[in-house]
Amino acid sequence: MTRTFSALALAGATLLTPSSAQDWVIPAGTTVHYDTTGTARPLYFGRVVIEAGARLVVRGDEPLSLVCAELSIDGVLDVSGDDSPGVLTLNTTNQPELGAPGGPGGGAGGTGSVNTTAQTPMGLPGLAYRGLGSGGGGGESAYSLGVADGRRAAGGGGGRLAADVLLHPDPLSPVNRGYVATAGCDGNPAGLGAISQAHPAAGGPAGLALFLDNDPSNDFWGVRVTPAGV
């Protein structure tokens, strides 16, 4: 079962205090889509519950902001950005290729083929979220004299808005996706990098680290409740 909510549909739930607001429960076996576009203010609930086997998929221009007395996530809260479909047209090198949209409130990926009258040696960096964090660097363009796939460019690096969290010792493990910002994948081994002139074209670097002093106790932005107060 899939249900779609808009900001208007949830307007009745945006009450003044969590204690008087209704609950938002996503039952097991269901998928709910929520679009944050045009919803800059928080949504207030008594409880927000994503049951095991349920999915809340959030997309849109604004971050998802929830204020609730209880938050329970046993299912999946999906705030991923979109994948780029790649170049789907022929003979359009005179048109820039826009990066895919980020997750809710997140910056979009970098633009490729920005030089419309000449070759583009590298994609542009991804966009940071409202000046916070750091977008990943663009990947190198590639060329090859004999192998068609060698002309495939390298990927851009991942952006950062938080500290990396290693759930697996290998940063490239699928388990770490969404938790660790990594460099973009290199291009095809048969291709030469347009800038480096080396095999393969190099993937773009990950965004700069947001926290620099190696002290995890201050890796926080915003307001939170602690034993000593707010």
What is the chain's mean pLDDT, rounded? 83
pLDDT score for 90: 83
Q: Which two tokens stand for residue 70?
A: 């209880």
Interatomic CA distance for residues 108 and 127, integer angstroms? 6
Residue 45's nearest CA partner among 25, 75, 73 is 25
Calpha distance 129→135 (Å, rounded): 8
- Residue 59 is which amino acid? R
* Contact in structure between 37 and 60 (CB atoms under 8 Å): yes
Q: What is the pLDDT of residue 15?
A: 37
pLDDT given for residue 5 in this prediction: 43
Q: 20 is written with which tokens?
A: 């008087």
Percent of the chain's residues with pLDDT above 70: 88
What pLDDT was estimated at residue 20?
55
Give the chain's residues under pLDDT 70: 1-21, 130-132, 221-222, 224
* Residue 134 pLDDT: 79
The candidate with the shortest Cα–Cα distance to 102, out of 212, 210, 173, 181, is 181
- Helices then strands, counting H and E runs in the chain, come out as 0, 9
- Per-residue pLDDT, 10: 42
